[in-house]
C-alpha cells in the first residue's frame, strides 16, 4: 500500500475492525521483527483505540501515526500521544534499523560512509 507523497505504510492496526495489516512489499524483514511490529501495533490499538500505523517517509525516516474516527468517544488522544513517545523511546533501535533497511534496500542509498562513521 502506497500513501501520498511517496510515503509507504509498513504496518498498522485498526481497533474498529480488529485487524492488523503488514505490507507484503517488506516480507524480507525477518519474521521476529515482523512479529514485534505486529505486537506493537495491536497493543497500541488495544490500549488507546483508533488506528495506528508505522509509515516510511520519503527520506527513509519512520513515522508512528495514530488516528480515530470522528465520533469515537473512547479514543484516548492524550494517551495515544504518550504511547507514541514511549514506543519511540523503547523501540529506538528497532525504528533506526527499519529506517536503515528502507534507505538501503528501497531507496538504494549508499550507506557505507555512515556505517564506517559509526564503527569508529
Domain limits of the chain? 4-114
- In this prediction, residue 111 carries a pLDDT of 79
The DSSP symbol for 11 reads: E
User: Which pLDDT score, from 0 to 100, does residue 6 have?
Assistant: 84
Which pLDDT value is given to residue 116?
Answer: 54
pLDDT at residue 81 in the model: 94
pLDDT tens for each residue of the chain, 120 residues long: 444 568 999 999 999 999 999 999 999 999 999 999 999 999 999 999 999 999 999 999 999 999 999 999 889 889 999 999 999 999 999 999 999 999 999 999 987 766 555 545
Q: What is the 3-state secondary structure (H, E, C) of 51-84?
A: EEEEEECCCCCEEEEEECCCCCCCCCHHHHHHHH
Q: How far apart are CA 38 and CA 43, in angstroms?
A: 8
Kindly report the three-state secondary structure assignment for every residue of 107-119: CCCCCHHHHHHHH
Sequence-distant (≥ 6) Cβ neighbours of residue 12 within 8 angstroms: 20, 21, 41, 51, 52, 53, 54
Q: What is the pLDDT of residue 34?
A: 97
What does DSSP say about strands 62-67 and 8-14: parallel, antiparallel, or unpaired? unpaired
Amino acid at each position: 500500500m502506497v500513501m501520498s507523497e511517496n510515503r509507504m505504510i509498513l504496518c498498522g492496526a485498526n481497533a474498529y475492525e480488529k485487524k492488523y495489516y503488514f505490507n507484503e512489499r517488506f516480507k524480507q524483514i525477518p519474521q521476529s521483527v515482523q512479529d514485534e511490529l505486529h505486537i506493537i501495533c495491536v497493543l497500541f490499538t488495544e490500549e488507546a483505540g483508533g488506528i495506528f500505523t508505522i509509515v516510511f517517509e520519503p527520506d527513509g525516516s519512520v513515522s508512528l501515526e495514530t488516528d480515530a474516527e470522528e465520533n469515537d468517544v473512547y479514543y484516548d488522544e492524550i494517551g495515544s500521544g504518550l504511547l507514541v513517545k514511549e514506543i519511540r523511546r523503547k523501540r529506538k533501535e528497532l525504528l533506526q534499523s527499519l529506517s536503515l533497511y528502507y534507505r538501503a534496500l528501497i531507496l538504494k542509498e549508499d550507506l557505507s560512509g555512515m556505517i564506517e562513521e559509526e564503527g569508529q
